[in-house]
């Protein structure tokens, strides 16, 4: 399994982006979490296979109708954590 650490910048807070990421994670069978950061970005940890993560990341790049993505930083590693679902952290 692959683990991605993703920082999404742009208009991603207050627009339902974390919920959007959770819905897409469920759609593609990806586990992990998403949370808002103090600088206005969203941090995501996502675990899955390449076939699950590739379309998930593409959906994150597009965003929902209310978000505007200006940048995504992605770090890939071997999965070091095991999640049962995809949650929103507060």
27-60: pLDDT as tens digits? 999 999 999 999 999 999 999 999 999 999 999 9
For the chain, which domains are there? Answer: 2-89 (3.30.70.100)
What is the average per-residue pLDDT within 83-87? 97
Length of the chain, in residues: 90
Q: Is 82 a catalytic residue?
A: no
Q: What is the pLDDT of residues 1-27, one digit of tens each?
A: 999 999 999 999 999 999 999 999 999
The yes-or-no verdict on residue 75 having pLDDT over 90 is yes
Confidence at 81, pLDDT banded by 50, 70, 90: confident
Q: Is 64 a catalytic residue?
A: no
Spatial contact of 73 and 4, defined as CB atoms under 8 Å apart = no
Burial class (CB in 10 A: 0-12, 13-18, 19+), 76: exposed
Out of 36, 64, 82, 84, the active site residue is 36
Handedness of CA 6, 62, 58, 15 (dihedral sign): positive
């Amino acid at each position: 399994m692959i683990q991605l650490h993703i920082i999404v910048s742009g208009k991603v807070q207050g627009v339902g982006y974390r919920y959007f990421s959770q819905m897409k994670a469920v759609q593609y069978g990806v586990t992990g979490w998403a949370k808002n950061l103090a600088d206005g970005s969203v941090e995501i940890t996502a675990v899955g296979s390449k076939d699950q993560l590739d379309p998930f990341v593409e959906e994150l790049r597009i965003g929902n109708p209310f978000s505007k993505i200006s940048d995504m930083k992605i770090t890939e590693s071997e999965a070091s954590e095991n999640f049962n679902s995809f949650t929103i952290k507060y």
